[in-house]
Amino acid sequence: MLIKKEARQRRARKTRARIAEKKSIRLAINRTNFHIYAQVISACGSKVLASASSVEADVRKAIANGGNKAAAAVVGKRIAEKAKSAGITKVAFDRSGNRYHGRVKALAEAAREHGLQF
């Protein structure tokens, strides 16, 4: 289990280093067993410009279970709307070392459908 966690953290570090070189705004996700979180973080990495998660009251009313693909799609839609209202349309996708499938993919595709480019 520890080796799996270390491998994910290593992949996350490599991705974040590449994004930092480009000095671009990033869409970072955090996935737990029960919820999924998304944040749009400034290029310098010190300021959160927009955030959405399956813990928010509006999302919890729409979706009963926060740990599935439907909830991830709702969070992707909300983060895209919040980012666009903040004037952000282009971001770098930081999947935090997670594989691009399941909930991560659902969130990314929903964000793309609602206007975010990455």
CATH number, position 12: 3.30.420.100
Mean pLDDT of 10-35: 94
| Residue 103 to residues 25, 29, 74, Cα–Cα distance (Å) | 22, 10, 11
Mean pLDDT of 4-31: 94
Using alpha carbons, select from 103, 117, 116 the residue that is nearest to residue 73: 103
Does 40 map to a domain? yes
pLDDT interval class at 46 (50, 70, 90): confident
Question: Which range marks the domain in which residue 15 is found?
Answer: 2-113
pLDDT on residue 83 = 97
Question: How many angstroms separate the CA atoms of 7 and 19, rounded?
Answer: 19
Question: How many angstroms separate the CA atoms of 83 and 38, rounded?
Answer: 11
Torsion of CA 6, 11, 12, 13, to 10 degrees: 90
Q: pTM (2 decimals)? A: 0.91
Residues 6+ apart with CB under 8 A from 33: 67
Q: Say whether pLDDT at 117 is over 90.
A: yes
Does 118 map to a domain? no
Q: Say whether pLDDT at 45 is over 90.
A: no
Helices (H), 23-68: 57-62
pLDDT interval class at 90 (50, 70, 90): very high
